[in-house]
Amino acid sequence: MNSYESVMARRAELMQKSLQINYDDFELEGIAFDYEKMMNEAAYSMEEMIEIQSRVGVGNTPIIELKNMTELARKYAPKGKGARIFIKDEAANASGSFKDRRAAISVYHAKKLGYKGVITATSGNYGAAVASHAAKLGLKCIVVQECLDSKGVGQPEIVEKARKCEALGAEVVQLTVGPELFYQFLMLMEETGYFNASLYTPFGIAGVETLGYEIVHQFEKEVGRQPDVVVATNAGGGNLTGTARGMRKAGNTTTKIFAASVDLSGLHMASDSDFNAKSFTTGHTGFGVPFTTNPDRSDVPRSAARPLRYMDRYVLIRQGEVFFITEALANLEGLEKGPAGNTSLAAAFALAQEMNEDEIILVQETEYTGAGKSVQPQLSFARDNGIEIYFGEPSEEVPGKSIVLPSNPGKISVRDVELSRLKNSTIKNALKTKGSDMFSDVELDYLAQEINGTVKEVIEIINNLTIKQ
């Protein structure tokens, strides 16, 4: 009964029992499902979420203008360029990141439904957020964490997060990298009967909508205008999805939404040999690209994180550039923040130099830092793993082999991931799922929404892919 095959065969049944969501209610024809119906029926209203979060120390986080960082960017920008750089300080939330917004709603829902505990599979800040809110509501909490390579060595950032989860009362189950994570998670979920506090449920994504909603109202009140660009660090896609949806609900449909990820091209996320060769555990291309083009690869039948629907641009930044900006933020602004938010800050520093001085670019989240998350432990660990570290040209950096700290701030730059490539990959994945059958009109309309395009565009992509095959 507990073999890998038998547990995975019960996946759908276990998911429904652990969430009390019947995902079949949202299925349409073939590959299509009704995303908005799922979000409207399974999630909470904006007013309800603001109330739930405010009771547990979540939300109403400040926006901060980084005047010194802006001044530095303008030194390297063409004349008249250098947008004002702001951050939304999500580290002010209960457990120190925007993940509190997801966890507060998910744990509240678990308590409301009568579950005795919550369980989540994550190596990141979300585990600490779930543990924090489970403690507040008197629920048990298990965090299943992909933490170790086959030699039993853990990446310092992940180990740091495990310590925080345990400090907040959670039981942390640490596993080696590989496919057993989801298997062990399902077994524990079945054994305990706990609520599945997945990152990708409607509750989790809707919880982030309050972040976007606050941005619109705070900028209107405190700055007198809306930001021109919002940059969101992109991994599983929930951060960008929730923020964009919240901004739209607050009436802002003009601000551009940019995704930013650390470029870890060439490293395989499920590879034992690559696991500790990377110096970022999230916010990188190993998650960002696959989850953008195939959102339903997550641990629920239909992911509520669908970033390509809201993405106006996707840019990449390098590890060394993020470490540099992390130090610059501390030295110039007196703010010590963790690596995930600083990924989008490094991108924003470069992007600001493309924009006019009277424009505004906002980094929509920061996170707490700690013993294992700050720059020196990460660089020391990289050096111990044979990674070459030096100051120079960031373009020389090779993920898993080197970390190049820019020799001056002017060398920080972004590279674009072509949205057309992401759209093509999304349609290609749909074709694999569909098989040889033709797409119906309902399916074509669904795919158009998935790529934030038109049915005509979908048909053109399908025709091009078919010709190439």
The whole-number average pLDDT for the span 345-367 is 98
Q: How many domains does the chain have?
A: 3
Among 106-110, 132-136, 175-179, 402-406, the least confident range: 175-179
- Of residues 431 and 8, which shows the higher confidence score? 431
Which domain-ending residue is among 173, 202, 231? 202
Cβ-proximal residues to 419 (8 Å cutoff; 6+ apart), any chain: 308, 311, 313, 314
- Is residue 39 domain-shared with residue 104, that is, in the same domain? yes
Element (H, E) at 202: helix 202-218
Judgement on whether residues 438 and 452 belong to the same structural domain of the protein: yes
d(CA 184, CA 190) in angstroms, rounded, equals 10
Residue range 125-149: average pLDDT?
A: 95
Are 46 and 60 members of one domain?
A: no
Length of the chain in terms of residues written: 469
Instruction: Give the Cβ contact number of residue 358 at 10 Å.
Output: 11
Last residue of one domain, picked from the residues 202, 227, 254:
202
Q: Is the same domain home to 217 and 285?
A: yes
363 shares its domain with 401: yes
Q: Are residues 119 and 245 in the same domain?
A: no
| pLDDT surpassing 90 at residue 271 | no
pLDDT of residue 298: 85
Residues 271 and 352 in one domain: yes
Q: Can you name the residues that pair with 403 across neighbouring β-strands? A: 389
The proportion of the chain whose per-residue pLDDT surpasses 70, expressed as a percent, equals 99
Predicted pLDDT of residue 468: 63
Tokens found for residue 419: 């949205």
Locate 204 and state its tokens: 């989790």
Q: What pLDDT, on the 0 to 100 scale, is given for residue 349?
A: 98
178: left (phi over 0), alpha (psi -120 to 50) or beta: left
Asked whether the predicted pLDDT for residue 469 surpasses 70, the reply is no
d(CA 284, CA 289): 8
- Work out the average pLDDT over 335-356: 97
The strand pair at 360-363 and 84-88 is best described as parallel
What mean pLDDT do residues 127-150 have? Answer: 95
pLDDT of residue 127: 95
Same domain, 410 and 294: yes
Question: In this structure, are 48 and 147 located in the same domain?
Answer: yes
**DSSP secondary structure letters along 366-392:** -----TTTSHHHHHHHHHHTT-EEEEE
CA distance to 30, 180, 434, per residue, from 241 (Å): 24, 28, 25
DSSP state at residue 66: -
Considering the domain architecture, whether residues 40 and 167 belong to the same structural domain is answered as: yes
417, 435, 450 - which closes a domain: 417
Q: Give the tens place of pLDDT for each residue, 82-92.
A: 999 999 999 99
Mean pLDDT of 337-364: 97
Please say if the pLDDT value at position 467 is more than 80.
no
Confidence band, pLDDT 50/70/90 cuts, at residue 181: confident
CA angle 348, 353, 357 (to 5 degrees): 105
Kindly indicate the confidence band of residue 4, based on its pLDDT and cuts at 50, 70 and 90. confident
- The CATH number of whichever domain residue 163 belongs to comes to 3.40.50.1100
0.75 surpassed by pTM: yes
Q: Which pairing describes strands 63-65 and 84-88: parallel, antiparallel, or unpaired?
A: antiparallel
Task: Please give the residue that has the higher pLDDT: either 410 or 181.
Answer: 410
User: 401 and 322, same structural domain?
Assistant: yes
Least confident of 8-17, 117-126, 390-399: 8-17
Domain that residue 296 falls in: 56-94+205-417
Q: How confident is the model at residue 155 (pLDDT cuts 50, 70, 90)?
A: confident
Is the pLDDT confidence value at 264 over 70? yes
- pLDDT at res. 385: 92
pLDDT at 45 over 60: yes
User: Which token pair is 389?
Assistant: 């570290």
Kindly report, residue by residue over 233-250, the tens digit of the pLDDT: 999 999 999 999 999 999
Query: Are residues 25 and 114 located together in one domain of the fold?
Result: yes
